[in-house]
Structures are given as structure tokens and as C-alpha cells.
Structure 1
Amino acid sequence: MDFIQKRVLFISKYWQDYANGLKITLILSIIGVFFGALIGTLLALGRRSKNPFLNKLSSGIVEIIRGTPLIVQITLFVYSFLNIIPPEFTFLRNKIFLASIPMCLNSGAYISEIIRAGIQSIDSGQSEAARSLGMNERQTMIYIILPQAVKNILPALGNEFVTLIKESAVVSIVALHDMMYYAEAIRGATFKAFEPYFYVAVIYFVLTYSLTKLLQQFERRLHRNDRD
């Protein structure tokens, strides 16, 4: 009974910190996936472009981002800009804003590969049919290929959202007040190493497990609609 009371007291004392950290985690993840999808679309189209400059630039960006750890990207970007941006520009020095930029770029690099695979999964006959109707390459991509590709890659985009939620834990390295940051603070205040991180792990698991189940239901519904 004493064990349960101690756990209840611990949660009642620090639940607000975990809630605040969870809010930051969700904000960063939603921003990362939304803008990452936009960046990923541009990068995927750039890698398919016949323009050599756009093709090489897009490929280079993707390779650099995918070839370096997210924690390094966030640390390098945030502290570099904090040194450059004058103190009076408060919004630009906001760590949520600064950390979200490398997260969006990182997510965009991986999403670009998802989108590129989705585009390649569309039968080439679709493009030929569109051309026979008088559509140019841009119209074919926007009105025929991309809508079908997006439907195919929605489950993969959902998985990227789940992955980004877990990877967002690295923002604590730049003193952004996510759940890992608060866990570190609670560990320092209580001198307990296990409990603060254990509850963070539980929250991450519940969040990602719930989202995974929702995505699986959504995917089954998509397949059911396709069959109907």
C-alpha cells in the first residue's frame, strides 16, 4: 500500500510537468509532419525533375539530412541561429520555432522518399492516358499522379508521424521543455533516476500505440473502400 501511495504522490506532484512536456512534443510533431509533407513533396518532385540543377540540389539536401543524426541537426541549427539572431528578435529566438525547422527538414527528407516511392507505384499507363487527353507533364502530375500517390502513401505518412513523436525527445538537448527535459529536471530534484524516465516511457508508449491502432483502422477502412 505504501508503494502505491508513493507512486500516486509522485504523479500528483509532477503530472503538470509531464503534461506541459507532452504539449511541446505534440506541437513539434504536428508541425514537423505537416511542413515536412510540403517539403518532402517539393524534394520528391525536384528529384524527378529533368532540370539538372533542381535534381542535384534536391538529391543533395536529402542525402545530407538523411546522412546526419537529427540530434546533431537540431543542436547545430538552434545554437548557430541563437548566436546570429539579435536579442530583440524574440520570436526568431524562440526555441520551439528554431527546433521545428530542422525537424521539418528532417521529416521532409524522409517523406520525400515515401512520396517518390508512391509516385513510382503509379502505373505508367496513367501518364500515357493523361497525355493522350492533351495534358502536359505538370497537369498530369498534379491532377492524375499525385492524388493517387497520396492515397497510397497515407499509411506511411502516419508511421512517419509516430516516428517523429519518438524522435522529438532529442529537443531536450537544446533545453526545450519537452517531456525528457522535465524528466531530467525531476531526476535532479528527487535524486531518482528510474521513475521520471519510466513515466516518460509510459506516456510515449500510450501515445504511439494509440496512434498506431488508429492508423491501422484508417488503413483497413481505405482498403475496404477500394474493394467497394
Structure 2
Amino acid sequence: MFDFKDVIPQMPFILEGLKVTLSIVVVSLLLGFILGILLTLCKISVFKPLIWLADFYTSIFRGTPLVLQLLIIYFGLPQLLGFQIDQYWAAVAAFSLNSAAYVSEIIRAGINAIDKGQKEAAVALGIPYAKMMKDLLLPQAFKNISPALVNETITLTKESAIVTVIGLGDVMRRAYQAGAVTYNYLEPLIFAGLIYYVIVLVLTFVGKSVERKLKSND
């Protein structure tokens, strides 16, 4: 039987980890999005070395576990750098670099889905490449890929729980610590799961609202 009476006093402690979880997700998404756009520009360029470099980057971060990337950054890099990396920034670095690989593929697919005639017309009119990307291609691509970007946000939110392996006090870590106090782990972990579930529901609702708004503007 479930017994949440011992968990109730621990709930504020677990909820404090929500600030860490959301901070990591928001900062990582922002940095990953910026890096993802840069990678996309490399992938659709005509300069072969940039294409190869961007594809190699993507293959590395999509082909290895995120937890491994986090462990390498937090435990492995200090051997090369000579100093310990802060837990928070190690997590942000791992999630940003990983998310950028997926975001770049999402944006690239969105750009490739646009009618090539629009790009050819822009080139024929002498529109600069940067202006064409900013004002023509990227805005249209984002309309097409908004559901995929929301899914990436949801995935990153759930995967952020792995920061517990480096001892960062997020929701999952605090739920585990709360369980260690009472020697009952199930109820605190269920409460943590409920927190993540609510976050995902909110993100799903926001994503659908944005998608409907974009469609209504067509």
C-alpha cells in the first residue's frame, strides 16, 4: 500500500529541485537552439568541409548515450583541463551539445521541405543569403517544425533527470534523498514522476496552442 504521510513533509524539499530542473532545460534549449541553427547553416552550405564537420558532430551526439556525454564532460574533461567543472554547467553543456544535434536535423528537414522555387526566386532577385534565410526560409521552416521542437523540449525535460548521476540537486535527486530519509523510496519517486508529468502536460498544451496559432496565420 502507498503511504504518503512521510512524504508530505519532504515535498517542499523535492519541489526546490524544480528550479534546478527548469533552469537547466531552459538554458540548454536556448544554447542548443542557437548552436542547432549554426549547424543547420553548415549542413545546407555549399562548402563540403562544413557539411562533413556538421554531419560528424551530429553523428557523435546522436550515436552515443546522453548520460555518457554528461559523464565525460563532468568526470573526464577535468583530466584535460586541470580543474573541476561545476555540476550545473556540466549539465548545461551536455544537454546543449546533445540538443543542438537533434535541433539541427529538425531545422534542416524543415528548410528542405520548403519549395525550392522560393529559394531560386530569391536568388534570382538578388536577395542576400543571410536575408533570405532570416526573412524567408527560417520563418517558414519554424511553422513546419514547431511540433518537432516541442517534442525535443519534452524529451530534454525528461532526460534532464539524469543529472542525478553527478549529484546535482534536481527533482529526481531530491526525491531519492527524501526516500533515503524515510527508507521509503516509492512514494517520493512517484511524486517526482508526477512533477515531470505535469510539466510535460503544460508543454504539450503550449505546443498545441502555438501550432494552432501558426496554422491560423497561414
TM-score tier (shorter) = over 0.9
1:7 aligned partner, one-letter code? F
| Candidates 7, 12, 29, aligned match of 1:10 | 7
The 5 Å alignment of 1:118-137 reads 118-137=110-129
Pair 1:210-2:202 in alignment? yes
2:189 paired residue number:
197
Per the TM alignment, residue 209 of structure 1 is displaced from its structure 2 partner at its CA by 1.0
Pair 1:112-2:109 in alignment? no
1:113 aligned partner, one-letter code? E
2:62 aligned partner, one-letter code? R
Cα distance 1:98–1:64, how it changes in 2: closer, same or farther (>3 A)? same
Per the TM alignment, residue 158 of structure 1 is displaced from its structure 2 partner at its CA by 1.8
| Candidates 162, 180, 191, aligned match of 1:170 | 162
Query: What CA distance in whole angstroms lies between the structure 2 residues aligned with 1:147 and 1:193?
Result: 47
Query: What CA distance in whole angstroms lies between the structure 2 residues aligned with 1:93 and 1:44?
Result: 29
Per the TM alignment, residue 218 of structure 1 is displaced from its structure 2 partner at its CA by 1.9
2:35 paired residue number:
39
Aligned residues of 2:6 and 2:182 also touching (Cα < 8 A): no
Per the TM alignment, residue 108 of structure 1 is displaced from its structure 2 partner at its CA by 0.5
Per the TM alignment, residue 84 of structure 1 is displaced from its structure 2 partner at its CA by 4.7
- Count of residues paired in the alignment: 218
Pair 1:151-2:147 in alignment? no
Aligned-pair RMSD on alpha carbons? 1.9
Pair 1:161-2:153 in alignment? yes
Per the TM alignment, residue 126 of structure 1 is displaced from its structure 2 partner at its CA by 0.7
Query: What CA distance in whole angstroms lies between the structure 2 residues aligned with 1:213 and 1:112?
Result: 24
Percent of residue pairs bearing the same amino acid type? 37
1:63 paired residue number:
59
Query: What CA distance in whole angstroms lies between the structure 1 residues aligned with 2:135 and 2:201?
Result: 35
2:60 aligned partner, one-letter code? I
Runs in 1 of length 4+ with deviation above 6 angstroms?
none
Q: Extract unaligned runs of 5+ from structure 1.
A: none
Match of 1:108, SS state, is helix
1:78 paired residue number:
74
TM-score (norm 2): 0.92
Query: What CA distance in whole angstroms lies between the structure 2 residues aligned with 1:206 and 1:80?
Result: 34
1:53 paired residue number:
49
1:185 paired residue number:
177
Per the TM alignment, residue 198 of structure 1 is displaced from its structure 2 partner at its CA by 0.6
